[in-house]
Amino acid sequence: MKTLCLTLLASAALFAAHPASAASEAEVRQQIETVLGDAAGFEATIGTVSEAILGDDPDTLATVTEFPLGNSGEDVQDSEGLADRWNELFTQKVKNALDAGRYDQLIVTSEGVGVGDGDIWINRFCEDDACNKAHWALARVNN
């Protein structure tokens, strides 16, 4: 919860994210805005995701998860499955990626924003055909 949450919150106040090897936080933020839109929404969501995972809080994480949640095994269908499979999904490797992550090292693609080596992916999901309304949510865990 420590490093990434604090870094992300501090980064959000100043600027934010973009991928690549030597990208600045402002470049990463602009890339999120250009590729996916609503960088501020991403920042709020990654903060909640990080706090929930590092704090072992499946109930909170379920509120910012798009089900079915993709992972290295069978997809998680709902919040109950998320809680049941918590230790399997959120291994120390995944927690370490969140804890050590830096905003300027996020991976940004049209498929979402990845943390670490793609240990978790957060994406923006359209709520209507025109994508006039959308929300950010945890989309995949690569444990």
Assess whether pLDDT exceeds 70 at residue 72.
yes
What tokens were used for 135? 């929300």
Question: Mean per-residue pLDDT for 116-140?
Answer: 95
CA–CA distances in Å: residue 75 to residues 37, 47, 85, 100: 26, 23, 11, 26
Assess whether pLDDT exceeds 50 at residue 40.
yes
> Residue 33's domain spans which residues?
2-141
Q: What is the pLDDT of residue 128?
A: 93
- Helix 2-14, helix 39-54: angle, nearest 10: 160
Assess whether pLDDT exceeds 90 at residue 14.
no
Assess whether pLDDT exceeds 60 at residue 63.
yes
Question: What global pTM score does this model have?
Answer: 0.82
The domain that holds 8 is classified in CATH as 3.10.450
Please provide the average confidence, as pLDDT, over all residues in the chain: 86
Question: Mean per-residue pLDDT for 118-142?
Answer: 95
Count of other CB atoms within 10 angstroms of residue 17: 30
Residue located via tokens 């080596």: 117
What strand order describes the sheet that includes 112-115? 65-71, 134-141, 120-126, 112-115, 107-109
The pLDDT tens digits for 93-115 are: 999 999 887 888 899 999 999 99
User: How many domains in the chain?
Assistant: 1
Q: Which residues contact 62 (CB under 8 A, 6 or more apart)?
A: 79, 82, 83
C-alpha 117/C-alpha 128 separation (Å) is: 31
Assess whether pLDDT exceeds 90 at residue 12.
no
